[in-house]
């Protein structure tokens, strides 16, 4: 335990260096204290905010405004930042997102449809845009009938601490493959928590002392508890978004 904020270690050197000298480690700050972080975590689990999938807890955050309905199809998105697969130097920010596709229960049976393709527009904090399109989602072509729900998880990476995605799915009616329509995916934002440069890096370059760290108020000057977490390498890599 150390006096600071609740933090995740981000690789900024070799793992041998990190084991011998914690000062080479960059940090993502995930809470003002361990108590605050743990209380928030437990609340999210108990309230159902963090889904439990195959007996594992996933730290997905759902923005209630990130939902769209087009006809009978409802799309909602949850996101998660993965500090254990991210790096401050070099900048590599890894995000996972979970998409829920649902057909309303009250939909008419003849409106049953199948997802054919996806299109993504991915924009980082510098305004750089990448477009991705392809068949299906994670290799699947879900059939949607009244009351059906299909959920899947994918990921993306940014070289900036934040960015957003938006796009659409293309469907066809089961009753007629020529009856094709698009369903927009709501724009969803992804942002990593504040980060703090390693002590060694700060000595070499004062400009990276507290990259992406939010200002502290006077009430933050007292002693805090830190949780340092050893995280696996190498940095996460992601296939084109699906």
User: What beta strand segments (E) does 13-54 contain?
Assistant: 26-31, 52-53
Total domains in the fold of the chain = 1
Whether residue 110 lies inside any domain: the answer is yes
Compute the average pLDDT of residues 49-54.
74
Q: Which tens digits make up the pLDDT trace of 57-80?
A: 777 888 888 999 999 999 999 999
Whether residue 92 lies inside any domain: the answer is yes
Q: Which tens digits make up the pLDDT trace of 7-24?
A: 444 544 444 444 444 444
Structure tokens, 58: 């996933």
What range does the domain containing 146 cover? 2-226
> Is the pLDDT at 117 greater than 80, yes or no?
yes
Least confident interval from 83-87, 163-167, 186-190:
83-87
Q: Which tens digits make up the pLDDT trace of 122-177?
A: 999 999 999 999 999 999 999 999 999 999 999 999 999 999 999 999 999 999 98
DSSP reduced 3-state for 122:
strand
Res 197: pLDDT: 66
In the β-sheet with 149-158, what is the strand arrangement from edge to edge? 61-70, 73-81, 93-103, 149-158
Res 5: pLDDT: 38
Give the confidence band of 205 by pLDDT, cuts at 50, 70, 90. Answer: low
Whether residue 235 lies inside any domain: the answer is no
Phi, psi of 232 (to 5 degrees): -75, 150
Res 239: pLDDT: 57
> Is the pLDDT at 1 greater than 50, yes or no?
no
Q: What CATH number does residue 31 fall under?
A: 2.60.40.1470
For 106, counting Cβ atoms within 10 Å of its Cβ (0-12 exposed, 13-18 middle, 19+ buried), the class is: exposed
Res 178: pLDDT: 93
Res 193: pLDDT: 82
> Do 185 and 168 contact (CB within 8 A), yes or no?
yes
Share of the chain above pLDDT 90, in %: 47
Prior bond of 234 cis (ω within 30°): yes
> Is the pLDDT at 214 greater than 60, yes or no?
no
Name, in order, each residue with C-beta under 8 angstroms of 177's C-beta and a sequence gap of 6 or more: none
Whether residue 120 lies inside any domain: the answer is yes
Whether residue 64 lies inside any domain: the answer is yes
Res 203: pLDDT: 55
Whether residue 239 lies inside any domain: the answer is no
Q: Bridge-partner residues for 157, per DSSP? A: 94
Whether residue 233 lies inside any domain: the answer is no
């Amino acid at each position: 335990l150390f006096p600071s904020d609740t933090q995740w270690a981000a690789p900024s050197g070799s793992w041998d260096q990190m084991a011998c000298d914690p000062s080479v480690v960059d940090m993502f700050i995930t809470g003002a204290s361990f108590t605050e972080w743990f209380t928030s975590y437990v609340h999210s689990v108990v309230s159902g905010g963090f889904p439990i999938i195959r007996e594992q807890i996933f730290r997905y955050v759902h923005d209630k405004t990130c939902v769209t309905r087009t006809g009978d199809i409802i799309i909602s998105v949850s996101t998660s930042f993965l500090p254990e697969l991210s790096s401050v130097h070099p900048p590599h920010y890894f995000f996972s997102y979970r998409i829920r596709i649902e057909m309303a229960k009250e939909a008419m049976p003849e409106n049953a449809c199948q997802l054919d393709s996806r299109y993504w527009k991915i924009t980082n904090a510098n305004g750089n845009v990448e477009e991705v399109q392809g068949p299906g989602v994670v290799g699947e072509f879900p059939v949607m009938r009244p009351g059906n729900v299909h959920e899947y998880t994918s990921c993306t990476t940014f070289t900036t601490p934040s960015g957003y995605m938006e796009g659409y799915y293309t469907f066809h009616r089961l009753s007629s493959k020529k009856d094709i329509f698009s369903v927009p995916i709501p724009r969803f934002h992804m942002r990593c928590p504040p980060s703090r440069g390693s002590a060694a890096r700060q000595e070499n370059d004062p400009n990276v002392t507290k990259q992406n760290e939010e200002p502290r108020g006077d009430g933050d000057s007292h002693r805090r508890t830190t949780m340092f977490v050893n995280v696996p390498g190498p940095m996460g890599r992601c296939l084109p978004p699906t």
